[in-house]
């Protein structure tokens, strides 16, 4: 029997030794100070609560490090939790003895003996409260105190301790409950907060009963502080009165209007460079303006409700300070919790087709490379490079870059990109931050000029900082201490200002966009709209002297909208925002325009030729050039001529005055002949009226110089033609040689045809079209005709009647 007892005792000792060894080993292995990352408290630019980033439902929020230990906080915390903190080594033996006696006497656990160090061990490794775990925590507490010292353990306790409502740490609790830094807390506020950790749920300061319990326990803490000599009687009297009157503001919640902005900031702070920039300053003042954020969010919601019946599902708007690139408002959808249009998605960060909003960058690049000047004439005559046409199916003829961009014409933009080079244009967009170079230029082709490459609103508005910033592109600024890199120069100041002048000219948008519409403001605004194919996306980006605003409208499922273009939708949204931002300038008295390029001279140009405007020029634009680079030749496109009203020919010296009229004609190069006829623009007469005139040969007769100011036509002056006559040149402009045409079997044969076009310089009365070597048709000026498609390989040629002048032959195959 004795042997059995000895054996059982030995086994028990071994088990106890093993348990004790494991307890010590586990306790020592956990003797490290650890904490979740501190929560970042976000405020708007005026100090108002925006939200928190970091933390989870499991860990809660807070965990702000305490750089300095405020004496009041230390005194109140130790009075409430661990009065002998400075004298024990992590475990208070007197408290352990007292707790053990009380628990044994009552046959249940009625008292604990946890020191601050033991609580740190438990908060770092939460678990069930057993005696073995208590022992392990004691070992950890001893090791922590020995390894880190009492002050650091205390500082860590104040970082971890819970204050209810998922709030951890005295620093975060002071900010969230009392909106103060911990160093500014009064005795009453310190005692109030120190009373919460012992029972955070019961002393919840956001509930009346919890706030009362915290105040009552706080008064007992104040009594202990007075008894311990930590505060004077006068301080105690004041604190006791203040703690009774202490009011905790209702807990502010994250504004629903700013949800996407807060999430964007949270993503920003995941990047190492931004996390390092915060250092130990978890209170972040952002650049957002909560008032403006709410106003823009309301405008998005209001406008979207008007457009839902036409297929719009959601919208996004971003507002920047133009000079600093600070994000003032970021509305990612009509409502984060709005399920109708998948509102939880931030559409400012969803890649979509940008339509024509990329065009200004290609014009800027062409100007920068010297491929065009403000006086260059760009043709909008027929389908351009790559078979690209205009969205409205019309062609506007000869256009200055200002007008081609203002009217957002596809043909000149595609031809311009072809001139620049597809790879060069694609790489320029990369330098603007619109893509990372993963997808090559060939993937998009010349459709790149029309928005074939998806971008986000965030990327697009970032790229527009180059135009709005006089040629420098920079990253968006989200918060005050954000590390800022120097903006990169991607364009010269001259080029950026030229494009800005083009985009801000309402006259340059005619005839595609009407005056006094959504694109016109009572103050200077450069604006560009964009619409993706099939009305899937509508965009507008605009900037004034103070702000840069971008908007997108579309459907989450990429469904087409019913005619909602950038002009009809997104531009209205941007206009709403800009008028609100410039509500002090709506009287139109400050419309002084954007600055011109420095050192440039202003020159009036003819819109049709890019040459200097004359008194006869009907449409004039002012462009800016460096001295010595401006056009010098006068435009001859607009010509005023005296004609015989009876037959429309030039008036001669014998034309009766009552039949003489002064008319304006347009004289353009031969390649514009068909366009000029379609537009009904009168050509100058080619001969003189012979009504009442005597024909003298072989001299050529012409009137001397005549202006409308003269009272009557001059006498005829006989001018002998001393120049050598040359044969006209003739060349086909359509179709292209080698063209292959696939017939649509559903198209009636009477409508399946191919356009035949030719340019004759100087013009003649007629040309003869030959198809497969046989005469097809005699056609008058401007010589255009359509040929009915027929299967097989065919040749086409144009000839002048009765003259040995022929064009080259082109071959076309029809399938």
Catalytically active residues are 81, 356
For residues 400 and 501, the answer to whether their CB atoms sit within 8 Å is no
Contacts of 218 (CB under 8 A, 6+ apart): 188, 191, 192, 194, 195, 243
CA–CA separation, 420 vs 708, rounded Å?
45
User: Please, which residues bridge with residue 539 across strands?
Assistant: 530, 552
Distance CA(569)–CA(574), nearest Å, equals 9
Alpha-carbon gap, residue 419 to 442, rounded angstroms: 15
Question: Is residue 785 within 8 Å of residue 710, measured between CB atoms?
Answer: no
534 Cβ neighbours under 8 A, 6+ residues apart: 560
By C-alpha distance, which of 763, 762, 769, 814 is closest to 793?
814
The answer to whether 504 and 593 are in contact (CB under 8 A) is yes
Give the C-alpha distances (Å, rounded to integers) separating 151 from 137, 162, 228: 19, 19, 20
The DSSP element (H or E) to which 729 belongs, if any, is strand 729-734
561 touches 356 (CB < 8 A): no
Closest CA to 170 of 309, 281, 36, 73: 73
Question: Nearest Cα to 563, choosing from 754, 408, 391, 781?
Answer: 391
The CB density around residue 247, as the number of other CB atoms within 10 Å, is: 8
Q: Are 493 and 597 in contact (CB under 8 A)?
A: yes
Helix ranges restricted to H, 608-708: 673-679
606 pairs with which residues across the strands?
620
698 cis-preceded (ω within 30 degrees of 0): yes
What is the distance between the alpha carbons of residues 126 and 362, in angstroms, rounded to a whole number?
A: 61
- Rounded Cα distance between 401 and 363, Å, is 8
Question: Which among 794, 691, 701 is positioned nearest to 741, based on CA atoms?
Answer: 794
Cα–Cα distance for residue pair 787/802, rounded to 1 Å: 23
- For the beta sheet containing 753-761, the strands, ordered from the edge strand earlier in sequence to the opposite edge, are 729-734, 753-761, 785-788
Per-residue H/E/C for 201-253? CCCCCCCHHHHHHHHHHHHHHHHHHHHCCCCCHHHHHHHHHHHHHCCCCCCCC
Chain centroid offset of residue 769 CA? 53
Residue environment code for 548-564, b if the CB has 16+ CB neighbours within 10 A, otherwise e: bbbbbbbbeeeeebeeb
In whole angstroms, how far apart are CA 516 and each of 182, 403, 522, 550, 589? 56, 17, 10, 20, 16
For the chain, percent helix, then strand, then coil, each to nearest 5?
35, 20, 45
Give the Cα separation of 121 and 42 in Å (integer).
30
Q: Are 197 and 172 in contact (CB under 8 A)?
A: no
């Amino acid at each position: 029997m004795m042997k059995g007892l000895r054996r059982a005792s030995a086994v028990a000792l071994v088990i106890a030794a093993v348990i004790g060894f494991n307890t010590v080993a586990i306790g020592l292995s956990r003797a490290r100070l650890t904490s979740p990352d501190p929560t970042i408290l976000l405020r708007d630019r005026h100090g108002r609560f925006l939200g928190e980033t970091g933390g989870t439902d499991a860990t809660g929020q807070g965990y702000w490090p305490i750089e300095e230990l405020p004496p009041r906080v230390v005194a109140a915390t130790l009075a409430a939790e661990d009065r002998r903190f400075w004298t024990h080594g992590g475990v208070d033996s007197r408290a352990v003895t007292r707790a053990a006696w009380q628990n044994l006497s009552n046959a249940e656990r009625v008292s604990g003996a946890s020191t601050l160090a033991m609580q740190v061990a438990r908060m770092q490794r939460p678990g069930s409260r057993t005696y073995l775990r208590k022992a392990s925590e004691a070992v950890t507490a001893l090791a922590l105190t020995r390894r880190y010292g009492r002050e650091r353990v205390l500082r860590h306790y104040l970082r971890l301790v819970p204050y209810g409502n998922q709030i951890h740490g005295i620093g975060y609790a002071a900010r969230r409950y009392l909106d103060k830094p911990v160093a500014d807390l009064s005795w009453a506020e310190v005692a109030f907060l120190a009373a919460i950790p012992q029972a955070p749920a019961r002393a919840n300061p956001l509930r009346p009963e919890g706030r009362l319990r915290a105040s009552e326990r706080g008064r007992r803490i104040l009594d202990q502080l007075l008894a311990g000599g930590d505060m004077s009687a006068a301080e105690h009297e004041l604190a006791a009165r203040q703690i009774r009157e202490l009011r905790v503001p209702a807990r502010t919640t994250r504004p629903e209007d700013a949800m996407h902005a807060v999430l964007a900031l949270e993503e920003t702070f995941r990047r190492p460079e931004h996390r390092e920039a915060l250092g130990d300053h978890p209170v972040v003042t952002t650049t957002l303006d909560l008032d403006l954020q709410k106003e823009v969010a309301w405008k998005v919601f209001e406008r979207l409700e008007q457009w839902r019946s036409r297929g719009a599902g959601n919208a996004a708007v971003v507002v920047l300070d133009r000079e600093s690139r600070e994000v003032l408002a970021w509305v990612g959808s009509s409502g984060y919790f709005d399920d109708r249009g998948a509102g939880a998605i931030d559409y400012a960060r969803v890649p979509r087709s940008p339509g024509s909003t990329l065009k200004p960058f290609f014009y800027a690049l062409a100007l920068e490379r010297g491929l065009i000047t403000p006086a260059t004439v760009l043709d909008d005559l027929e389908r351009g490079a790559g078979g690209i046409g205009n969205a409205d199916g019309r062609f506007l003829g000869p256009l200055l870059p200002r007008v081609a961009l203002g009217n957002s014409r596809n043909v000149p933009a595609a031809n311009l990109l072809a001139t620049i080079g597809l790879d060069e244009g694609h790489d320029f967009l990369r330098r603007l931050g619109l893509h990372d170079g993963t997808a090559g230029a060939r993937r998009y082709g010349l459709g790149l000029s029309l928005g074939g490459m998806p971008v986000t609103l965030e990327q697009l508005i970032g790229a527009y900082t180059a135009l709005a910033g006089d040629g420098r592109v920079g990253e968006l600024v989200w918060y005050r201490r954000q590390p800022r890199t120097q903006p990169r120069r991607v364009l010269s100041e001259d080029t950026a200002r030229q494009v800005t002048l083009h985009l801000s000219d309402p006259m340059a948008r005619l005839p595609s966009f009407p005056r006094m519409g959504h694109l016109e403001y009572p103050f200077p605004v450069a604006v560009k709209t964009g619409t993706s194919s099939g009305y899937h996306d509508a965009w507008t980006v605009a900037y004034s002297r103070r702000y840069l605003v971008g908007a997108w409208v579309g459907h989450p499922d990429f469904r087409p909208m019913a005619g909602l273009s950038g002009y009809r939708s997104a531009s209205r949204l941007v206009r709403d925002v800009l008028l609100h931002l410039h509500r002090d300038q709506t009287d139109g008295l400050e419309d002084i325009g954007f600055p011109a390029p420095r050192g440039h001279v202003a020159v009036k140009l003819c819109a049709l030729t890019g040459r200097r405007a004359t008194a006869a020029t009907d449409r004039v634009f002012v462009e800016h050039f460096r001295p010595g680079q401006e056009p010098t030749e006068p435009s001859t496109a607009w010509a005023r001529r005296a004609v015989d009203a009876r037959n429309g020919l030039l008036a001669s010296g014998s034309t009766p005055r009552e039949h003489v009229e002064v008319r304006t004609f347009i004289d353009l190069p031969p390649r514009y002949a068909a366009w000029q006829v379609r537009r009904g623009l009168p050509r100058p007469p080619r001969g003189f009226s012979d009504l009442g005139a005597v024909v003298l040969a072989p001299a050529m007769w012409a009137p001397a110089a005549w202006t409308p100011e003269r009272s009557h036509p001059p006498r005829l002056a006989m001018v002998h033609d001393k120049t050598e006559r040359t044969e006209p040149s003739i060349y086909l402009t359509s179709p292209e040689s080698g063209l292959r045409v696939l017939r649509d079997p559903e198209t009636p044969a009477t409508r399946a045809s191919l356009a035949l076009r030719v340019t004759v310089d100087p013009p003649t009365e007629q040309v003869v079209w030959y198809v497969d070597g046989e005469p097809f048709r005699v056609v008058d000026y401007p010589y255009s005709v359509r040929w009915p498609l027929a299967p097989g390989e065919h040749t086409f040629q144009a000839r002048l009647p009765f003259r040995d002048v022929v064009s080259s032959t082109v071959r076309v195959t029809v399938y």
